[in-house]
Structure 1
Amino acid sequence: MMKNLRHYTLMLLIVALCTVLPLTAGAASSSVTVKTQAVNLKFDGQSLALPDGQYAFIYQDRTYIPVRFISYALQKSVKWDQKTSKVTVSEPTAAEKEALAKLLAGAAAGGAQPAAGKSITIKPVQATLVFDGQAKALPTGQSLYSINNSIYVPLRFMSEAVGTDIKWDQKTNSITGESPAYQAAQGGGNTGGGTTSGGTTGGKDPSGETKPSYESITSSAEAKLASLKTSCESTLGGLYFQYLAATDDTTKATLKSQGQQAISKCQSDFEKIIADTTDALTKNGYSTDVIASYRTEFDGYMKQINDLAASLK
C-alpha cells in the first residue's frame, strides 16, 4: 500500500513538472507599478496620438499600448470577450472599417502625447489571442495587462501577428509601423529605423551589417529554451515511468544512471543557450538582465527534477 502511495505521489510530481513555466522569464503573477513613456507613434507614415487616459509603457524591455489603439492604428477589428477572456483580431466589416477610419483620423489629429513618468499599476490578464480564426500564444515571459479596464498588449507581438513591420528608435522615442500594403506602395522602402538597448529592432551597426533586434535575440533564446524543456521532460518522463515499471534493482540502477546523464545534458544544453544568448546581447550592445530571469526559472525547474530523482528508491 505504501509503495503504491509513493508511486502515486511521484506521478503527481512529474505531472506538476510538466505544467510549470521553466526556462523562460515568466509573466508577472501580481500587479506591478510602472512609469508611462512618452512615445511618438507613426503607422503607415501617419503620426498618431493615444486617446486621453491611455498610455504607453515599457515593462521587461517590451513596449505595451492599448489593444483598442492597436485596432485602429492597424485598421483591424479587435474584440474583447470578458466572459471567455478572448481577444479576437480580424478583418473589419464594412461598417467597422468606416468606424475605424474615423477613429484613425481622430488619432492623427489628436493632441499631445501623454507625459512620461506617470506611475500606473498594471495587472496581468490571462486571455486567448485569436488572429483571423487562429489562436496565437504570446511568447513565454510576455503577458497582457489591464489598466482601468483597458487591455494592453506587447506592441511588437500584436503588430507582427497581423503582418506589420515595427521599428523602435530609442533616441527619439519613436515607434514606426508599416503594413505590407504601405511598404508595397512605397516601393518596399522602410522608415523609422534605429538602434535600441532592449526590446526592438536594431537597424545597422557601424560596420554596416544588419543588427539583430533585442527581441529577435531573446525570442530565439526563449524558443530554444522551450524546446529544451520539452526534450528534457520527454526524456526524463520516459525514464521515470520505465523506472516505475522495473522490477529488479539492476534495471532500476541503470535507469537512474541514465536519468542523471539526461539531467546533466539538460544542464549543459541550457548553459550553451545562455552563453550564446549572452554573447549575442553583449555583442550588439543590449542589456543582459534577462539572463538572470532565465537562470532563476531553470534553477527552480532543475531543483524539482533533482528532488524527484533523489526520492526514487
Structure 2
Amino acid sequence: MKKIVSYILFALILISTNMVSAQSVVTINGGKMIDNRTLVPLRSIFEELGATVIWNQNTKTISATKDTTNISLKLGTKTAVINGQAVSIDVPAQIRSGTTLVPLRFISEALGANVKWDNKTLTATIEQNDKTILVKV
C-alpha cells in the first residue's frame, strides 16, 4: 500500500511540475506612455496572443482575428470595432518609429487576456491561458 501511495505522489509531482513549466513568458520592449496611457506594439501582442494580423495600407486599418473574435482599428481614430460592435478607446492607434501602437488594456482585453500594470517598473503584464507577456515601457 505504501508503494502505491508513493507512486501516486510521485506522479502528481511530475504532473504539477509539467504544468508549471508549460507557462510561456515573453518580454516585449517598445511600449510607450502617451497622454497618460500605455500604448503597446499591436502586432507583437496580438501575435503572441495567437491572433492573425492584417494591415491595409490603403485604408490605414489593422484587422486582427483570433478564433471567433474579429477586431478592426483605423489609425488616428478613437473607435475600434470588435465583432461588428463599435468600441471607444482613450487614445487612437498610431504609428511611432514604424510600429503601430495601441492602448494596452484595449488590445489585451479585446482578446480576453488579463492585464496588470506595475508603475514602479513601468511594466505591463498580460496573461492569457498558458502565456504571460511582459511589456516594458
TM-score tier, shorter chain, comes to 0.5 to 0.7
| Alpha carbons 2:113, 2:126 under 8 Å: kept | yes
Q: CA deviation at 1:86?
A: 2.3
RMSD: 2.8
Unaligned runs of 5+ in 1: 1-43, 93-123, 184-191, 193-313
Deviations 1:122-176 (A, max 9, x none): xx72386444x4244333x421111244311011111011110000111222211
Is 1:169 aligned to residue 115 of structure 2? no
- Residue 94 of structure 2 is aligned with which of 138, 145, 168? 145
1:49 maps to which residue?
Answer: 28
Paired residues for 1:154-193 under 5 Å: 154-179=103-128, 181-182=129-130
Residues 174 and 147 of structure 1: is their aligned pair in 2 closer, same or farther, counting only changes over 3 Å?
A: closer
1:88 maps to which residue?
Answer: 63
Identity %: 27
Residues 127 and 80 of structure 1: is their aligned pair in 2 closer, same or farther, counting only changes over 3 Å?
A: farther
| Alpha carbons 1:125, 1:146 under 8 Å: kept | no
What secondary structure is seen at the aligned counterpart in 1 of 2:107?
helix
Distance 2:125 2:78 in 1: 26
One-letter amino acid of the structure 2 residue matched with residue 73 of structure 1:
E
Normalized per residue, the structure richer in strand is: 2
Figure out how many residues of one structure are paired with residues of the other and give that number. 103
User: Taking CA–CA contacts closer than 8 Å with sequence separation of 6 or more, which of the two structures ends up with the larger relative contact order?
Assistant: 2
Deviations 1:1-40 (A, max 9, x none): xxxxxxxxxxxxxxxxxxxxxxxxxxxxxxxxxxxxxxxx
Q: CA deviation at 1:48?
A: 1.5
Scaled by the length of structure 2, the TM-score of the pair is 0.61
Distance 2:28 2:45 in 1: 12
Is 1:70 aligned to residue 18 of structure 2? no
Distance 2:104 2:78 in 1: 16
Is 1:79 aligned to residue 27 of structure 2? no
What secondary structure is seen at the aligned counterpart in 1 of 2:50?
coil
Residues 127 and 86 of structure 1: is their aligned pair in 2 closer, same or farther, counting only changes over 3 Å?
A: farther
Greater radius of gyration (CA): 1
Residues 129 and 82 of structure 1: is their aligned pair in 2 closer, same or farther, counting only changes over 3 Å?
A: farther
Unaligned runs of 5+ in 2: 1-22, 68-74
